[in-house]
Amino acid sequence: MTEKMRDFVKSGYNKGMYSKVYSRDKNEFDTFEKFMCDNLISRLKKDSKILDLGCGIGLPYDKYFCKNKFLIVGVDSSKKHILKARKNVPEGKFLVDDFFSKEVKGKFDAIVSFYSIFHIPRNEHKKLFVYINSLLKKDGCILITLGVDSMKYVVNENFVGSPMAWSSYNVKKNKQLVQDAGFKIILCAEDYRTERHLWILARKK
């Protein structure tokens, strides 16, 4: 199921109209998202290096981080999204690969992942958080969004023009996995704007 879901999601984003339907320009943040990103920024030094896993087309988050003088490396399995990210955020470096990319080199001051971790099988989430921890410098931070409901494998056959899949744990389990991977949670908040998501800001122990 793991490889099937990974291919399913990759195909869905390459064939679907996600970037068009959910398109936002480089400055289009809502208040809550900006609050969370600014909270992360306040804990970083200028020229800090940030890795964005599941970066999509680079807007608005990576553009915002670059505007604040950070160095961005983005990874996404969708070639279509990466081509757009390179155009939207020429200051960044963007790679076509999955979350466990062997092309990602060095250590990072922060790692972010917005609206994407629930697109990989939840039985890989623990492994992912441990891997993320290994890529961080001492006292490095993460800012991630996760699902809030327990769902082993859910498919929408027509998500913005193409099939898409989700997999996640509930809030309690998500927080425990992050902590067990070697992080201290700084801020945890549920976002109920239009779709429910769990935002976690944490620091490497």
What is the reported pLDDT for 178? 99
What confidence category does residue 25 fall into, taking pLDDT thresholds of 50, 70 and 90? low
**What length does the chain have?**
205
The answer to whether residue 1 scores a pLDDT higher than 60 is no
For the chain, percent of residues with pLDDT exceeding 70: 85
Phi, psi of 86 (to 5 degrees): -60, -35
Question: What is the rounded CA–CA span in Å between residue 60 and residue 64?
Answer: 6
For residue 90, whether the previous peptide bond is cis, meaning omega lies within 30 degrees of 0, is no
Query: Each residue of 167-178: pLDDT tens digit?
Result: 999 999 999 999
Residue whose C-alpha is closest to residue 60's, from 148, 103, 200, 68? 68
Q: For all residues of the chain together, what is the average pLDDT?
A: 90
The pair of structure tokens assigned to 150 is 């327990």
| CA–CA–CA angle 107, 113, 119 (5° rounding) | 125
What is the reported pLDDT for 26? 57
The answer to whether residue 62 scores a pLDDT higher than 80 is yes
Question: What is the rounded CA–CA span in Å between residue 153 and residue 121?
Answer: 7
The answer to whether residue 55 scores a pLDDT higher than 70 is yes
The answer to whether residue 91 scores a pLDDT higher than 90 is yes
Residue whose C-alpha is closest to residue 128's, from 74, 182, 86? 182
How do strand 151-159 and strand 162-168 relate by DSSP bridges? antiparallel
Question: What is the rounded CA–CA span in Å between residue 85 and residue 56?
Answer: 7
- Higher per-residue confidence, 10 vs 78: 78
- Higher per-residue confidence, 87 vs 8: 87
Residue whose C-alpha is closest to residue 107's, from 127, 74, 75, 133? 133
Chain centroid to CA 159: 19
Q: Which helix (H) or strand (E) holds 164?
A: strand 162-168
What is the reported pLDDT for 23? 61
* Domain chopping of the chain, boundaries: 2-204
135: how many CB neighbours lie within 10 A of its CB?
A: 17
Q: What is the pTM of this model?
A: 0.91
The pair of structure tokens assigned to 71 is 């160095």
Q: Which helix (H) or strand (E) holds 145?
A: strand 136-146
Q: Which CATH class is domain 2-204?
A: alpha beta
The answer to whether residue 74 scores a pLDDT higher than 70 is yes
